Amino acid sequence: MKNQTKKIYGSIVLTLLIFLLAGCTNSMEEESEAKNSEKDVTTVSETDNKEDPKNNDLEKTPSSNTSNKGKTGESKDASSEDNAEKDTLSNYSTEEIEYARIWLQLGAIKDVEELNIRHFSAGTPLNPNDETSASYPEDVIQLSGSRLVAGSVTYSSNGDGTINVYNIPLRWDGSYPTGEDFYKDLIENTELVRVDRGEDNKISALINKMNTL
């Protein structure tokens, strides 16, 4: 009876050991598979990370070059336009360009057959036909068309892109003497005007019509 009991207990213990061993084996296999899976994932991730910088560099390089080419192209275009403008007016003096710009901005008739230029030194009477006339306090330039209707512009340059415009007619009409106060008022009420850049082709065309008197 005792022997049979021992055999039964022995069988039970052996069975339990077999189950325990089987469980340990399965657990070890699962852990091994899990580790292998992690290694595979890590390997793939590392490979991707190694490849990405290269791919990113390859992708960035063309876009960077394209951007630089775009900026270079824009710079070249702007430079070409500046050079074209310089070439258009390169054969003319600063004074000629100034006369043309002022007339195109202030002249009564822009498209004149001829643009006359007169220089009056400081001390020249505003109206030489009137003994009571005041004199110009500075050197001035008078621009006028070939016809009276084209008007005139009498001014002095400030050298900073602005001019002082005198309200002086091209031809004086009226009775004389007018009186000194009348002429002094014309001198004291000059108008400060900033000269526009104008269009180079129009400036060039007008310069070719200039006549210095």
Q: Consecutive sets of 10 residues in the chain, 213 residues long: mean pLDDT of each?
A: 56 63 56 53 46 46 45 54 67 96 97 96 96 96 95 96 96 88 95 96 96 93
Check residue 59 and give its pLDDT.
Answer: 45
Using the Cα atoms of residue 90, residue 92, residue 98 and residue 101 in order, give the sign of their dihedral: negative
Backbone φ and ψ for 120, nearest 5 degrees, come out as -120, 130
Task: Pick the closest to residue 152 from 170, 127, 172 (CA basis).
Answer: 170
DSSP 8-state assignment for residue 195: P
d(CA 28, CA 72): 65
d(CA 154, CA 136): 11
Check residue 173 and give its pLDDT.
Answer: 87
Check residue 176 and give its pLDDT.
Answer: 86
Check residue 74 and give its pLDDT.
Answer: 55
Show the 3-state SS of 110-129: CCCCCEEEEEECCCCECCCC
Check residue 42 and give its pLDDT.
Answer: 46
Cis peptide before 53 (omega within 30 of 0): no
Long-range contacts of 190-193 (CB under 8 A, 24+ apart): 190/164, 190/165, 190/166, 191/164, 191/165, 191/167, 192/162, 192/163, 192/164, 192/165, 193/105, 193/106, 193/155, 193/162, 193/163, 193/164, 193/165
Check residue 87 and give its pLDDT.
Answer: 74
- Let me know: does 150 contact 144? Beta carbons within 8 Å: yes
- Let me know: does 125 contact 133? Beta carbons within 8 Å: yes
Cα dist. 32→21, 28, 39, 40, 46 in Å?
A: 16, 6, 11, 12, 21
> Taking each helix axis from N to C terminus, what angle separates 2-89 and 200-207, rounded to the nearest 10 degrees?
10
DSSP-based three-state secondary structure for 212: strand
